Structure 1
Amino acid sequence: MRSVIIVFVLVLFFSCTSEKVKVYTMEDDVTILASDSLGGRETGTEGERLAAAYIQQRFEGLGLQPKGSNGYYQEFSFKPSSNPHEEAVFNASEGDSTISGRNVIGFIDNKAENTVVIGAHYDHLGMGGEGSLYREGKAIHNGADDNASGVAVLLQLAEKLSEKNNQNNYLFIAFSGEEMGLLGSNYFVKNPTIDTKKVSYMINMDMVGRLNEERTIAVHGVGTSPIFKQVLFANKDSLNIVSHESGIGPSDHTSFYLSDIPVLHFFTGQHSDYHKPSDDSEKLNYEGMQAISNYIEAIITDLNDKGKLAFRKTKNESEDVPAFKVALGVVPDYLYAGKGMRIDGVSEEKPAQKAGLLKGDVVVKLGAFETFDMMSYMKALSKFDKGQTTIVTVEREGKQLEVEVTF
């Protein structure tokens, strides 16, 4: 029944394209984009095209100018690589294995010297496939948090910025192909529809729908411009910010950072529904999304009169990650800013579960190696071999516990 209702809503929306006054909430946008009727929005599918059409109509209704290569659309074709260590090939010859995707691009032209890019990917995993963590066969992966949430915040920002902060232009891009390897953003920076030398900075929102009770949000790319840290913490209001310097990460901001553009990426953390069919619209924290939208708007306002921001290269934090021979079998809490590594989830039949470790435990020591943060935890884990037994020290409810773990 829910799917039938969403189809009706989509039909109603597309039949009323001349209506400019209807107000859409972020929950409206997420509910439509994460509906079963869009089939998981996999790049190259009918569901992706329906999602793109919805975003295009929303852009038009908000008064954004088309800034793609074909109206609001920037289409790209590629041939996926069968080797996970090789990139997909753009503009491959037409054939059975060629896939076409489309970015959706709208523009607020304030006749300013510089432009701010605001992006979020709208594609997802379709019926599952290699990226899915679901092990019970094919099912629609609706991707409400990943990343209908980011698109919903993008659309609200487009509405807000249409009437303020006019010392910059604003380019809004809903990317496709992110789940297949940042393809849409990669294609855009290589085939831009504006002069990217005049882009001041880029904001990316990917998975911003699950703000936790501690109101913690991770912000990546803080080191990519000298001004970012000051502005981020001056405008945080009731949010708790976990900042990361690097401009490199598994989302679309990376494509812009590699083109020497300052970037900020906003992320509320992984969860048990990540890349599963259960990532549905009713599980999102819409009040939290509003707080994040307000936060990003405040940052943009603060930067309104700062001109073109200086770019700074950052250390690629992923290069420091050591190789592992073993796994503890836990999902780390990437938003945790305290001492140690807090466990956000425990995998079935893995060493952590067999040893009795629980969600919420904070690992402070692996054998003889203290773990002060995520990096020291990973370095400690890399010291162990399969079959080895050690003592893991955790903090649980204010007390320290020692458990024996066999890898």
Structure 2
Amino acid sequence: MNRTLLFLVVILFLSCKTEKKKSVSLKDDIVFLASDSLKGRETGTPEELIAANYIQERMEDIGLQPQGNAGTYFQTFTFKPKTDPHSEVRYGTGDSTITGTNVIGYIDNQADKTVIIGAHYDHLGMGGQGSLYAEGKAIHNGADDNASGVGVLLKLAERLKDSVTGSNYLFIAFSGEEMGLLGSNYFTKNATIDLSKANYMINMDMVGRLRENKSLSISGTGTAPIWGQVLNSTNPGFNLVLGESGVGPSDHTSFYLQDIPVLHFFTGQHEDYHKPSDDSPKLNYEGMEMITDYIVTIIEELDDDAKLSFRKTKNESENVPRFKVALGVMPDYLFEGKGMRIDGVTEGRPASKAGLQKGDVVIQLGDSTVVDMMSYMRALSVFEERSTTTVIVDRNGKKIEAEVQF
């Protein structure tokens, strides 16, 4: 081979090796994960495993190290599904078991503290338990719940790789969240890193529907004394709705119960929640980019600080009254005015039959004045099936009274 030809071969080889991989956007990730072909990513299904393989490939492309079991990105766990809703899930092998798969990547900056960033990627599959869709089986794509959180997780991995180096970073896409926080629970009890080095955990669950008023809910703010100061000083313009409790219906709870400070980011409930209509075209992609920027700024702010002090918080869920009836509405958990704002009405349920509408603010239920979510729940808890009462709502400044039959 002459020298000229050899030179050309070497140049071609080097250009192939250094060619940049195709850029994958946050929207690309979410559209794939929420596509019909994945059939709702139910835990233990072949489609959930397709999603797991996709996330693994993305982590590998970003340059994350595998931090699952046996040098892989996967941490699998098997369990028996609950037959009694009040019983605990049993992990282990045997007949009638389901296998879930956590996907775990790591940035090792040789630091003495580690930031854990998580989001669940499973959803409800074709419906079933947990679905709010009453018309039979259908694909529940779960674009907001929670392809949105996984999209932000992958974007954070890209942003933090080789940039903010005062901490190590563990990125976990959890399986089994919809069945009871199974993947995060299993990980905390079978951790693939030294959890004593965990500084704090950030969880993104349903971050894809940022509203025009930029309301952003962040829970867990009481789990470390510094959270309030950091969140407010770095806030780029969100209307923050802060909650102190480290316990909630998402994966951050598993880490809080291991005495690790947590934050849970959430853009609010909506009428597509746990329905087939939770699709990717309805998401606010610019809003998710803003949330990504905010989280990076928070991490940067804490990068040079000492390990955070953990603080236990009041478990707000212990004070939630038990109900025998339901009004059939989706509350607006980010509403800051007086009353309980309705964010969605389910057809055929008491609220719908009474003529209540999305946007109505419930200010009185029966004899009880409703000033916030807790007072609404207390008012609702006194009613039995087939009982009748009156409800007063504020509709665009006008008080409307209606009769409700449960």
Deviation, 1:66, is 0.8
**Residues 231, 344 of structure 1: CA spacing in aligned structure 2 closer, same or farther, 3 A cutoff?**
same
Alignment of 1:4-403 (within 5 A): 21-70=21-70, 71-93=72-94, 95=95, 97-403=96-402
**Aligned amino acid, residue 178 of structure 1:** E
Q: Calculate the TM-score normalised by the size of structure 1.
A: 0.92
Counterpart residue identity of residue 377, structure 2:
M
Percent of paired sites with the same residue? 66
**CA spacing shift, 1:85–1:19, aligned 2, 3 Å:** farther
Instruction: Name the amino acid aligned to 2:325.
Output: V
SS where residue 232 of structure 2 aligns? helix
Deviations 1:2-23 (A, max 9, x none): xxxxxxxxxxxxxx99975321
Q: Distance in 2 between matches of 1:83 and 1:45?
A: 22
Deviations 1:27-75 (A, max 9, x none): 0001111112222211111111111111111111111111111311111
SS at match of 2:342: strand
Shift of 1:337: 1.5
User: What residue identity is the alignment partner of 2:91?
Assistant: F
Measured against aligned partners, the alpha-carbon deviations of 1:94-115 in whole angstroms (never above 9, x if no partner) come to x2x1111111111111111100
Shift in Å, 1:338: 1.5
User: 1:132 deviation in Å?
Assistant: 1.7
Shift of 1:245: 1.1
Change in Cα spacing, 1:18 to 1:270, as seen in structure 2 (3 Å) is farther
In 2, the alpha carbon distance for the partners of 1:17 and 1:60 equals: 16
Return the letter of the residue paired with 1:27: K
Q: Tell me, in whole angstroms, the C-alpha distance in 2 between the residues paired with 1:17 and 1:251.
A: 42
Q: What is the DSSP-based 3-state SS (H/G/I as helix, E as strand, rest coil) of the residue aligned with 1:331?
A: strand
Q: 1:280 to 1:17 in 2, by over 3 A?
A: farther
How many aligned residue pairs are there? 390
Quote the Cα distance in structure 2 between the aligned partners of 1:73 and 1:406.
Answer: 50
Structure 1 spans left out of the alignment, 5+ residues: 1-15
1:105 and 1:171 in contact (8 A); partners too: yes
Corresponding residue of 1:13:
none
Contact 1:17 1:61 in 2 (8 A): no
Deviation larger for 381-390 or 227-236: 381-390
For the Cα contact (< 8 Å) 1:167–1:305, is it kept in 2? yes
Query: What TM-score does the superposition give when structure 2 sets the normalisation length?
Result: 0.92
Secondary structure of the residue aligned to 1:224 is coil
After superposition, the C-alpha distances for 1:98-140 in whole angstroms (9 at most, x for unaligned) are 1111111111111111000000011111222212222222222
| Counterpart Cα distance in 1 of 2:389 and 2:135 | 34
Aligned to 2:217, the other structure's residue is in SS state: strand
CA distance in 1, matches of 2:139, 2:351: 30
Q: Is the 8 A contact 2:48 2:122 kept in 1?
A: yes
Unaligned runs of 5+ in 2: 1-15
CA distance in 1, matches of 2:147, 2:179: 17
Q: Which stretch of structure 1 is more off in the superposition, 135-144 or 311-320?
A: 135-144
* Partners of 2:221 and 2:244 within 8 A in 1: yes
**What is the root-mean-square deviation of aligned Cα atoms in Å?**
1.8
Go from structure 1 to structure 2 and tell me whether the alpha carbon gap of 1:194 and 1:393 turns closer, same or farther (over 3 Å shift). Answer: same
Cα 1:19–1:382 change in 2 (3 A) is: farther
CA contact (8 A) 1:20 1:61 kept: no
Contact 1:223 1:245 in 2 (8 A): yes
Determine helix, strand or coil for the equivalent of 1:48.
helix
Mapped contact 2:271–2:330 kept (Cα < 8 A): no
Shift of 1:387: 4.1
2: CA distance, partners of 1:18 / 1:144: 34
Q: Give me the whole-angstrom Cα distance separating, in 2, the residues matched to 1:272 and 1:129.
A: 18
Greater alpha carbon shift after TM alignment, 322-331 vs 53-62: 322-331
Change (3 A) 1:62 1:362: same
User: Separation in 1 of the partners of 2:320 and 2:187?
Assistant: 29
Q: Which structure has the larger Rg over C-alpha atoms? A: 2
Report the alpha carbon displacement of residue 367 of structure 1 after superposing the two structures with TM. Answer: 2.9
